[in-house]
Amino acid sequence: MSQRSTSSTRLADDIASDIHSGKLGPGSWLKQVDIQERYGATRLDVRKALDQLVIKRLIEHIPNRGYHVHVPDPVRLDEIRDVRILLECGALEDLIQHITPKQIKHIRDLAKKFDMLISTGTLLEQYAANQAFHHAVYDLCKNRELVRLIHEIKAGTPAAPTTQWINHARVQQSAKEHFDLVDALSKHDLAQAQAVIRQHIQQSERT
């Protein structure tokens, strides 16, 4: 990784942490010149960092206006959660029929990595590990159209750090739910796996 890439990634994590802590609240506009001054960064690093955060769904880019922190729509988020529960519970029903011990070990290792990063990693590293875990689980589903729909609907919503990870305890609970899901899948217990994923999806600022 180049020095330039390292500095822009570090800046992206600093901005992400300030969004997560509430220092940059929902709807806050992120003017490039303000970001440069606030974090002592170059213009190029600011642009790269903001683009990274758009990809990770922590902020939104409005053409001809700029970047701003996502503003959650509670009604829309509730409706999306309902759809996700239907899709992801359906995917579990598909994949649990043919999941192998080797695949169980792989997703358990990813759950362990996320758990470790809670205390040792940056917010963006936690985000990436969380995404890797969920992608690995649903990529075991043989119905590829179902997998596509799951990834598509998740890509259209704010990321977990802005809508679910409201404190350290909530992140730790997410890690526990990862392990609970793996345990249920290893036992081929569909009802328990679906119960875990419902709880996991229903995380919100009201929990």
* Beta strand pairing call for 59-62 and 66-69: antiparallel
- Alpha-carbon span 144 to 84, nearest angstrom: 16
Q: How far apart are CA 172 and CA 169, in angstroms?
A: 5
pLDDT at 5: 52
Which tens digits make up the pLDDT trace of 107-146?
999 999 999 999 999 888 998 999 999 999 999 999 999 9
Distances, alpha carbon 25 to alpha carbons 15, 20, 94, 140, in Å: 11, 8, 39, 37
Tokens of 39: 């974090």
pLDDT of residue 70: 85
- Could you tell me which residues are beta bridge partners of residue 69? 59
Residue for token digits 């899709």? 87
For residue 75, pLDDT over 70 is answered with yes
Q: Which long-range contacts (CB under 8 A, 24 or more apart) does 24-27 make?
A: 24/69, 25/69, 26/69, 26/70, 26/71, 26/72, 26/162, 27/68, 27/69, 27/71
How confident is the model over 143-184, as pLDDT tens digits? 999 999 998 888 777 766 666 666 778 889 999 999 999 999
Q: What residue has token string 């358990």?
A: 108
For the segment 77-106, the average pLDDT, to the nearest whole number, is 95
pLDDT of 161 reads 65
Of 31-35, 68-72, 176-180, give the lowest mean pLDDT range: 68-72
pLDDT score of 101 more than 50: yes
Residue reference for tokens 């570090």? 10
Distance CA 94, CA 187 (A): 15
d(CA 11, CA 191): 43
Q: 178 to each of 73, 111, 134, 149, 183, how far by Cα in Å?
A: 26, 6, 9, 21, 9
